[in-house]
């Protein structure tokens, strides 16, 4: 690993961090922490392995540390409550403002998998290696995440606790 290789990965690290975290400053802070940790763990870098996967994995671990730190109280979301039967939207053009807001409402673990695949275009195996989870978990989080995002965008989940009443 050298500075030039690291510099080449920076734009993608920033793009992913921005999509994952939302806030620009917080995202760049996460990237900076990732770079610092990468240098400090240079001894664990195996030459010839995929630098990008390694960096994304470092960022993922930092993000987990961040999330574990007590901050504002989070309201647990009942994931299944989102899965209401909805009529498919006829328009496949997604408004970008809506997308950013909808993305922020996804559980972090679904958002991470969805972004690594849809935005970063990693293979399922690369995502599994990056996040340190089994391939099956990658696939289930991906399909839940995409479906979840679709329903949020369809606007049928104004209240996360909404249930169908017969």
Partner 1 sequence: MNAPVTDSELNAFLDGELTPARRAEVELWLAGHPEALVRLEHFLAQREALHRLFDPVLDEPLPEALREAAQAPVRSAGWWRRQPWAQIAAGLLVACVGAAGGWFARDRQVATAPIAAVSVPLPRQAAVAHAVFSPDVKRPVEIRAEQEDQLVTWLSRRLGSPVRPPHLGTLGFELIGGRLLPGNSGPVAQFMYHDGAGQRLTLYVSTENSGKRDTAFRFAQEGPVNVFYWIDGAFGYALSAGIPKDELAKVATEVHAQLERR
| Residues in touch with partner 1 (CB under 8 A) | 2-3, 6-7, 10-12, 14-15, 18-19, 28, 31-32, 35-36, 39-43, 88-89, 92-94, 96, 99-100, 103, 114-115, 117-119, 123-124, 139-140, 142-143, 146-147, 149-150, 153
The single-letter DSSP state of residue 93 is P
Nearer to partner 1 by C-beta: 64 or 146? 146
Burial of 112 (0-12, 13-18, 19+ CB in 10 A): buried
Helix (H) or strand (E) holding 141: helix 135-153
CB of 15 vs partner 1, minimal distance in Å: 4
Nearer to partner 1 by C-beta: 67 or 94? 94
Cα distances from 91 to residues 85, 88, 107, 153, in angstroms, run 18, 9, 25, 11
CB atoms within 10 A of CB 26: 13
CB of 73 vs partner 1, minimal distance in Å: 29
Nearer to partner 1 by C-beta: 98 or 161? 98
CB of 26 vs partner 1, minimal distance in Å: 13
Separation of alpha carbons 164 and 83, rounded Å: 10
Nearer to partner 1 by C-beta: 46 or 93? 93
């Amino acid at each position: 690993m050298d500075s030039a290789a690291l510099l080449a990965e920076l734009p993608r690290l920033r793009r992913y961090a921005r999509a994952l975290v939302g806030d620009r400053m917080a995202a760049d802070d996460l990237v900076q922490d990732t770079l610092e940790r990468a240098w400090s763990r240079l001894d664990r870098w195996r030459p010839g392995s995929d630098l990008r996967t390694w960096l994304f994995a470092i960022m993922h671990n930092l993000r987990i540390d961040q999330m574990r730190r007590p901050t504002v109280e989070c309201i647990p979301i009942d994931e299944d409550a989102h899965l209401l039967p909805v009529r498919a939207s006829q328009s496949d053009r997604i408004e970008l403002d809506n997308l950013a807001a909808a993305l922020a409402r996804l559980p972090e673990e679904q958002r991470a998998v969805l972004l690594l695949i849809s935005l970063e275009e990693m293979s399922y195996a690369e995502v599994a290696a990056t996040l340190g989870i089994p391939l099956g978990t990658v696939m289930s989080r991906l399909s839940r995440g995409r479906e979840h995002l679709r329903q949020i965008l369809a606007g049928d989940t104004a209240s996360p606790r909404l249930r169908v009443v017969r």
